[in-house]
Amino acid sequence: MKRITLLAVFAMMLAALVACGGSSSANTSTASNYTVTMSGVTFSVNSITIPKGSTITFTTDQGGSAHNLVNGSNGQAHPESGAPDFGSGGHTVGAGQSWTTSPWNTAGTFHVTCTYHPTTMTLTVTVTG
């Protein structure tokens, strides 16, 4: 009888350790800075997923063309609720320059486009909670 009780206690302790280990790794995403390169008339990616509180740095190649970034699609500013402020008329990033957004603090799906290259420069930003 003593042996069965000891095994039962051991099994419960093992189950508790496994349960704790499983739940501690549930959310390991932390805010960070992500980089999207603009080369020629395209973004380096068409979409990006970032955790809430992160920023995005947009970088233009040295010798590349300037880009005017807005929150919206099809080269038009259509500010989406919860997206960082891109300024009235957008934010221009010249050749060899970078610009970092303020933090993306709202979970959801947002759009960034270049007003100079609206058909080739559209980025979907997914912000996770």
Q: Quick one: pLDDT at residue 76?
A: 93
CB-based burial, 40-49: b 16+ in 10 Å, e otherwise: eeebeeeebe
* Domain ranges across the chain: 33-128
Encode the chain (129 residues) as per-residue pLDDT tens digits: 454 444 444 444 434 433 333 333 334 468 899 999 999 999 999 999 999 999 999 999 888 899 999 999 999 999 999 999 999 899 999 999 999 999 999 999 999 999 999 999 999 999 999
What are 26's two structure tokens? 């549930």
Q: Could you give the CA distance from residue 52 to residue 36 in angstroms, rounded to a whole number? A: 17
Q: Quick one: pLDDT at residue 95?
A: 93
Q: Quick one: pLDDT at residue 53?
A: 97
CA nearest neighbour of 56 among 39, 66, 43, 41: 43
Contact 5, 26 (CB under 8 A): no
Contact 103, 82 (CB under 8 A): no
Report the CATH architecture of 33-128: Sandwich (2.60)
Contact 93, 60 (CB under 8 A): yes
Lookup result for tokens 């995005």: 56
